[in-house]
Amino acid sequence: MAALLNSAALLQIPVKGKWVGGCRLIDDSLHRKRNKTRLLNHFVSAKAMSTGYSGKKQVWIWTEKKEVMTAAVERGWNTFIFHSHRRELAAEWSSIAVICPLFVEDGILFDGERKKVANYFEISSARELEKLQSWNEESENVVISLLNWQVIPAENIVAMIQGTRKTVFAISNSYSEAQIFFEALEHGLCGVVLKTEDVESIFQLKDYLDRRDEEGSLLGLTKARVTKVQMAGMGDRVCVDLCSIMKPGEGLLVGSFARGLFLVHSECLESNYISSRPFRVNAGPVHAYVAVPGGKTSYLSELKSGKEVIIVDQSGMQRTAIVGRVKIETRQLILIEAKGDQDNQTYSILLQNAETVALVASPEEGHQCTSFPVTSLEVGDEILVRVQGGARHTGIEIEEFIIEK
């Protein structure tokens, strides 16, 4: 983090057309049996995984409520844990859904054929955690119940399993606890066992993991050519301060219309006018749309502390960030219109007329990024936009006839 801050401090805001600091501004039984075998192979093969540091997060479910089981299976979670005396319940559920039942007995999790799948530990003290650290079955699955404490031991476990082949699942009694385990020391544990009788916890955890899976994926960005740059008078603009540091080429997707969002650069670049603020995007007026996780949009005026937005770089790589605060102030605005190279559609955005506000364009070969301060933006300049469906209902894209101008 310090290195990133130091490198950002060395950058100078570029003069248009010049490169400075690396950045230029400008159901039958056979079928069911086969599926069970496939599922069993899936979680037994976890022994061959490295650690919780990579791969898709795994979820096992521990419940006795049929509605919770049904909701979990519908969302792709098929591994369920039962106490050894609840085999009848496991058999009943296996008759109505394709599941992989595991049974807890004497500190071990067995499958239906009494093959060992994982070790089970209950940990309530630092000394018990240290015993786990000295446990030498490198490639075993481990299910851990931390009883009345979560955060610090979760971090200790993540650090402990680094470089081993242990696959650790922590028992979570709620969605929020599961989130703690998945985010401990940034990388988190490989998986959780969600122990719940609440269907809503299933919905919340699936929604969280879907949003998390978006990180590191690419959004399609399109080139658009600027067709108008015009002073527009005064308006209430929004500065979005995030709980994350941005680097050159990164910013937020913002636009007057949801059908075309401009990549607005962060204030991570130093200038002669103001110090670098790598956590900030001077994003535009209160009415503008901003991209948020889940393929949705929000009005800039709706953002507040604790909300999430997506940071995007010039290649389209996205990640999620938390809003720390929002500042709304009256400032002079400039209207920018651009026409897409591929669809010939016109998109627009209003931004504060200031040297520290910039739009991002495609990176040129051999350089990190290209960006244009709005104060020196000219007709003909190429910038990046995110083209998507225009009709929105509460920020969700819908199929509907709509005209926006």
Dump the DSSP string for 141-207. EEEEE-TT--HHHHHHHHHHHTTS--EEEEEESSHHHHHHHHHTTTT--SEEEEE-S-HHHHHHHHH
Bridge-based pairing state of the strands 369-373 and 296-299: unpaired
Cα 289 to Cα 279: distance, rounded to the nearest angstrom:
19
Residue 114 has pLDDT above 50, yes or no: yes
| pLDDT tier for residue 392 given thresholds of 50, 70 and 90 | very low
- Of 114, 190, 205, 197, the closest CA to residue 158 belongs to 190
Give the pLDDT confidence score for residue 361 in this predicted structure.
86
pLDDT in tens, 40-55: 333 333 333 323 334 5
* pLDDT tens per residue across span 326-376: 999 999 999 999 998 877 889 999 999 999 999 998 776 544 567 899 999
Distance CA 402, CA 405 (A): 10
Instruction: State the pLDDT confidence band at 24, using cuts at 50, 70 and 90.
Output: very low
Alpha carbon distance 127, 125 (integer Å): 5
Is residue 35 within 8 A of residue 27, CB to CB? The reply is no
23-37, 145-159, 208-222 — most confident range = 208-222
How many whole angstroms separate alpha carbon 322 and alpha carbon 201?
22
Does residue 388 register a pLDDT over 70?
yes
Q: Measured in whole angstroms, how far is the alpha carbon of residue 179 from the centre of its chain?
A: 12
Q: Which of 354, 270, 285 is nearest to 22 (CA)?
A: 270
Predicted TM-score (pTM) above 0.85: no
Angle at 11 between CA 328 and CA 306, to 5 degrees: 35
- Output the CA angle 321-325-327, nearest 5 degrees: 125
Amino acid letter, 102:
L
CA distance 74 to 147: 29
Band (pLDDT 50/70/90 cuts) for residue 295 is: confident
CA distances from 155 to 151, 182, 216, 290 (A): 6, 10, 23, 33
Ordered domains of the chain (ranges, CATH): 29-214 (3.20.20), 219-389 (2.170.16)
- Helix (H), strand (E) at residue 128: helix 126-134
> Across the chain, what does the average pLDDT equal?
78
Pairing of the two strands 23-24 and 369-373: parallel
Residue 209 CA to residue 69 CA, distance in Å, equals 18
Alpha-carbon gap, residue 53 to 159, rounded angstroms: 10
CA angle 231, 220, 237 (to 5 degrees): 30
Instruction: Say what the pLDDT of residue 131 is.
Output: 63
